Amino acid sequence: MLVVLFDPDTLLHQTVELLGSKLIPALESPKRLEAILKSLRISEHDVCTIRASSGDRGEGKARLFRVISESHHNGYLEHLRDVHDEWVSAGLIEQDGHVMPECFWLPTSTGKPMRPPRDPFARAGYYAFDMSSGIMSESYQAIIASANLAYEGTDMLSGFSVNASGSDVDTVLALCRPPGHHCDGRRAGGYCYINNAALAASTWRASHSDAQIGILDIDFHHGNGTQEIFYADPKVLYVSIHGEDEFPYYTGAEDECGIGAGEGANINFPLKVGSSVEEYMEKLEQALQHLLDFKPEFLIVSLGFDTYHSDPLGHFQIHTEDYATIAETIRRKLKDVPALILLEGGYVIEHLGANVLSFLKGWKS
């Protein structure tokens, strides 16, 4: 059985980004989720609404934060929570303003370690790597709601058993926003603030120690954050198919294979801009073979619809019906592996709903 998870608090985050030299409303907007929800409702697909912000204030929340802390720095999490208020108190912005970085941390020859500046204005550039990760008054609430969907979704799946003695939920689609795969645990970027995939992996491990976990990242962009977090980890296989030389520009090459004990557990498939669905499917088959050989007991799919042919931030020749083929191919190859599907990017609002429905149809076929 497949469950779709949604938290209305994820709609609260709405910020700006730098495009060229203009500050514009971020393409990663609440309208994306509204479009997806509308399509799901029209097709009478059940959507399960859960709220990070209600009820469970005690042990559940504490557990969520414990798991988030495994892959995210405490100073960074405090920054996400506090920086907007600090900027308002310092008179840098009004309540309805947006925190944006000015100067980023950069490596120097001094040998001095990275250290967060005390000044909250300066600090924005220490905890971010680009200007697509603004912070407004309700960002933090949405960021936690988004992360909580990954956390709760993983919990729902951890009771799954193939021989029907446990739960029959074998797939969860978590309608996360903001997305997660560009966040490396100490820097926001590419619309991402908490790495939802890393959080899901930590959540799974809390009840299945030593588990082999597979991550398939099929957002158009390379998931630099997820790669970074698991780069030395032999128990997590990260496999990504993404646009070559595209954002985030500095990662995603084929020769990035992992390090130390994690060598071999990181596989990148950069694909030329403008690639056809045939070229895409060829890479997908290879990616899935690697995942199958790894024998994961839990699969995380970072799913972006910015591979869509007319996406403003992506450049593959993929159409609505292709998402069914992609989903069916993943499911056929990795059947019986409980799967958490996390929404990442995808910016053509008018077609997002249809693309999600197509993916779900293929997954269930």
From 72, 79, 98, 182, the catalytic residue: 182
Q: Which residue has the tokens 């939920």?
A: 169
Dist CA 164 CA 292 (whole Å): 22
1-9, 16-24, 91-99, 155-163 -> range binding ligand Q9C (CB under 6 A): 16-24
Q: Check if 84 is active-site.
A: no
237 - beta bridge partners?
214
User: By CB under 5 A, is residue 270 in contact with Zn ion?
Assistant: no
* Token pair in block for residue 124: 């924005």
Determine if 283 is a binding residue for ligand Q9C (CB under 6 A): no
Report the distance separating Cα 136 and Cα 19, nearest Å. 18
For Zn ion, what does the binding mask look like between residues 206 and 245, x meaning CB under 5 A?
A: -------------xxx------------------------
The count of other CB atoms within 10 Å of the CB of residue 234 is 14
Report the partner that residue 247 touches, choosing among ligand Q9C, Zn ion, none (CB closer than 5 to 8 A by kind).
ligand Q9C
Contact 242, 267 (CB under 8 A): no
CA distance 192 to 80: 11
Residues 318-347 touching ligand Q9C, rule: CB under 6 A, are 344-345
CB of 132 to Zn ion, least distance (A): 10
Q: How far is CA 323 from CA 42, 112, 160, in A?
A: 19, 47, 25
Closer to Zn ion by Cβ: residue 7 or 311: 311
311 binds ligand Q9C (CB under 6 A): no
**Minimum distance of ligand Q9C from residue 246's CB (angstroms):** 9
The structure tokens 């709220």 sit at 51
Cβ at position 260, least distance to Zn ion in Å? 28
Output 55 or 312, the one with its CB closest to ligand Q9C: 312
Which x/- pattern, by CB under 6 A, does the window 119-158 give for ligand Q9C? Answer: -------------x--------------------------
Containing 123, the helix (H) or strand (E) segment is helix 120-123
Distance CA 97, CA 211 (A): 43
Site size toward ligand Q9C, by CB under 6 A: 17
| Residue 353 binds ligand Q9C, judged by CB under 6 A | no
The candidate with the shortest Cα–Cα distance to 230, out of 201, 194, 207, is: 201
Footprint on residues 204-243 left by ligand Q9C (CB under 6 A): 219, 221
Stretch that binds ligand Q9C, among 11-19, 63-71, 141-149, 153-161 (CB under 6 A): 11-19
CB of 316 to ligand Q9C, least distance (A): 13
Q: How far is CA 189 from the centre of its chain?
A: 11
Q: Is the peptide bond before 248 cis (omega within 30 degrees of 0)?
A: yes
Our measurement of the distance from residue 333's CA atom to the centroid of its chain's CA atoms, rounded to an integer in Å, reads 22
Instruction: Show the tokens assigned to 235.
Output: 């128990």
Query: Segment near Zn ion (CB under 5 A), from 61-69, 105-113, 163-171, 342-350?
Result: 342-350
Instruction: Check: CB of residue 36 under 8 Å from CB of residue 175.
Output: yes
**CA–CA gap between residue 338 and residue 157 (Å, rounded):** 6
**Binding positions for ligand Q9C, rule: CB under 6 A:** 17-19, 132, 179, 182, 190-192, 219, 221, 247, 304, 306, 313, 344-345
Catalytic residues: 182
**Binding positions for Zn ion, rule: CB under 5 A:** 219-221, 304, 306, 345
